[in-house]
Amino acid sequence: MPDEALTATRVRELLDAMRGLPVLVLGDLMLDVYLAGGVERISPEGPVPVVDVRERSRRLGGAANVAWNLRVLEAQPRLVALRGDDEAGGDLAALLAERGIEAESLVTDPGRPTSVKTRILGGGQQVCRYDMESRAPAAGAALAALRKKALVALDGARAVVLSDYGKGVMADALVAEVIAAAGARGIPVVVDPKEGHFAAYRGADLVTPNRAEAGGSWGLPIRSGADLETVGRGLLERLAVRALMITLGADGIALFETGRPTRIFPAAARQVYDVTGAGDTVVSVLALALAAGAGPAEGAVLANHAAARVVARVGTAAVTPDELADSFLDAALGDAPRGADEGRVLARGDAAAAVAAARERGAKIAFTNGCFDLLHFGHLAILREAARRGDLLVVGINGDASIRRLKGAGRPVNRLAERARLLAGLRGVDLVVPFDEDTPLALIEILRPDVLVKGDEYEEDAIVGAAAVRGWGGEVVRFPMLQGYSTTDLLERDGNAADAPAADGGGGAAHGDSSAADRGATKDARSDT
C-alpha cells in the first residue's frame, strides 16, 4: 500500500479513533541517562575524547518509553513492569508521574537493580554507553505480582504491547498467558521481540523484529531480498501470527501476511540523528492503529511516518497526532521546497530563536493569533494588515486540544497540522507557531513582538498580551473586522450550524465570566482571527 492509498481523511479518522484508548504495556523498564557536553581534547590516558559534561538529563526507556509514546498519542497506557528499590527506580516513577502515566502497576523487586543505560554525548555525538542492570529472569513473588497486575490491567484494554528487551520481565509462561487471555477477549497483541524469546510469541497478532533479530531467530542473516523472504515467511508460519513486520532501518518496513504477497514500505525518514527508541514508537503506533480498526498495512504506513519523526531527534522521543498528520501532508504535497515568501511551522523554542536572529538584523516583529479553523476573507484581511505592520510576521495558532476546550468537541473542523500548513503557505506569513494553552500570552511573552495585531471587536485592554506588549514599548493595533466572515458563518452557510458551537470571532455568545477583562480575554482566545 503506497502512502497515497492512506488518505488524509483516513489518517484523521484513525488518529481520532486512537484518542483515549486504554493499552496494556507489559515489558522491561529502563531509565535512559544522557551526559552531554563539548569535546576539546583527547585524554592523555588513552585515545579517547574528554567530554566536558555540561548537561545531565533523564528519559524513559524500554517499556516506559512505549507508555510515553502512547500517552503523547493521547491514549491511556497501563504500564506493568519491574523496578528496583533504588534511586533509579524512584527517578523512573517520578518521570512517569510527571508525564501523566500511572505507576501503580509497577512491581518493586528489592533483589534487582533498575535497568539504567547511560549515554555520553560529546559535541552532539554518542561517545560511549554504559549499562547497569540485571538480566536475571523474574521469579517467585515478583513474577506472581507481574502476572496478577497484567491480567487486571488487561480487563477493558483495547490493545496490548509486549516490550521485550531481555531484562527478565518477559518470562515465556507469562507472555503465553497474556497472549492467550488477550486473544480470548479479541484484544490485539503487538510484540517488540527479543532474539531467543520468539517461541513465546506464538499466537500474537503482530510481531515486529528488526533485521538482525529476525535473521538471528531464523538462523539466516538477512543480506538479500531472497533472505528476507525466506526469514519473513518462515517466522510467519512458525509463530502462527496474524502478521510479521520486519523493520529494515533505512530500507523501510517489510510486511508479511498469510495469503498475501510481501509488501515493502520505503522509509519515510529524510534525516536520521538517533534511532534510540524508534522501535518503541513503531509498536505504540501499530498497537493503537489495530485497536482503532486499521489493518496491518495501514498500521505499517502510520508507523513508518512516526518513526521518521523520532529518528530525526537525539535520544528517545515520541510523536504527537498533529506531527503524524503533518508528515502525511508533507508526503501529499511532495515536500516541495518552500519559496522565500512562504511560512514555516515551528515549535515555540525554534520560533524564539528565529525571531531573535531576525531582531538582531533589525527586523520589526509583528504578531497575531487565532484558531484559523476554516480560512476566510476575514483571516486574509487581518493577516495582510499584520504583515504590513512588521518585517517578520509570526502567527500563533491554537492547538486542537485548546480549540476543543474553548469551542467544544465538534471543533476544530481541520486538525492543527492542516491549519498550520495552510497558514504557512500564505504570502506574508513568515512563521506559524502552535500553542495549546487557552490564550497566547505565554507565547507572546517568549517572542516579545514589536506589534500585536487583533480585530477591533475587542477593546485594547481586553486583548490578551496587550499589556505585556505595551510594557516593553511595543504597539497594539486594532484592525477593523470584516462583518459576516467567521468560521461559524461558514458552517451556517453549509447547513451545519446546529452542530457548531455558537461562539466564534465576530459570531455568537461567549461564556459568561466574572469581569469585563475576563470576558474580553475569553473572547480573544476563542476568536478565529
Q: Give per-residue pLDDT as tens, 412-435.
A: 988 888 899 889 888 889 999 999
Q: Average of pLDDT values for 92-110?
A: 92
DSSP state of 461: G
Find the length of the chain. Answer: 529
Mean pLDDT, the chain, rounded, equals: 84
Residue (of 520, 423, 506, 405) closest to 465 by Cα position:
520
pLDDT at 350: 81
- pLDDT tops 60 at residue 490: no
- Asked if residue 114 lies in contact with residue 90, where contact means CB atoms within 8 angstroms, the answer is no
- The number of beta carbons lying within 10 Å of the beta carbon of residue 260 is 11
Q: Are 209 and 217 in contact (CB under 8 A)?
A: yes
**CA dist., res. 66 & res. 146, Å (int):** 18
User: How far is Cα 106 from Cα 496, in angstroms, rounded to an integer?
Assistant: 48
Q: Is the pLDDT of residue 521 over 90?
A: no
Q: Are strands 344-345 and 263-265 parallel, antiparallel or unpaired?
A: unpaired
Structure letter (DSSP) for residue 123: T
Residue predicted with more confidence, 522 or 116: 116
Q: What is the dihedral of CA 217, 223, 225, 226, to 10 degrees?
A: -70
Question: What's the average model confidence in pLDDT over 291-320?
Answer: 81
Cα distances from 246 to residues 123, 194, 268, 382, in angstroms, run 33, 13, 15, 50
By mean pLDDT, which of 11-15, 258-262, 445-449 is the weakest? 11-15
d(CA 292, CA 354): 38
| Spatial CA neighbour of 79 closest among 141, 140, 30 | 30
CA-based Rg of the chain, rounded to a whole angstrom?
Answer: 26
Q: At what angle do helices 516-526 and 400-407 cross, to 10 degrees?
A: 130
- Using 50, 70 and 90 to split pLDDT, how confident is the model at 499? very low
pLDDT at 333: 54
Taking 70 as the threshold, does the pLDDT of residue 496 lie above it? no
Using CA atoms in the order 36, 38, 41, 42, what is the torsion angle rounded to 10 degrees?
A: 20
Out of 164, 192, 280, 326, pick the active-site residue. 280
Q: Are 279 and 210 in contact (CB under 8 A)?
A: yes
Using 50, 70 and 90 to split pLDDT, how confident is the model at 42?
very high
pLDDT interval class at 191 (50, 70, 90): very high
What is the DSSP code (8-state) at residue 420? H
Residue 513 predicted with pLDDT over 50: no
Q: Using the structure block, give the residue that is written with the C-alpha cell 497566547.
A: 440
> What domains can be seen in the chain, in order of their start residue?
3-27+63-88+135-332 (3.40.1190.20), 344-526 (3.40.50.620)
Known active-site residue 3: no
**How far is it, in rounded angstroms, from Cα 397 to Cα 219?**
53
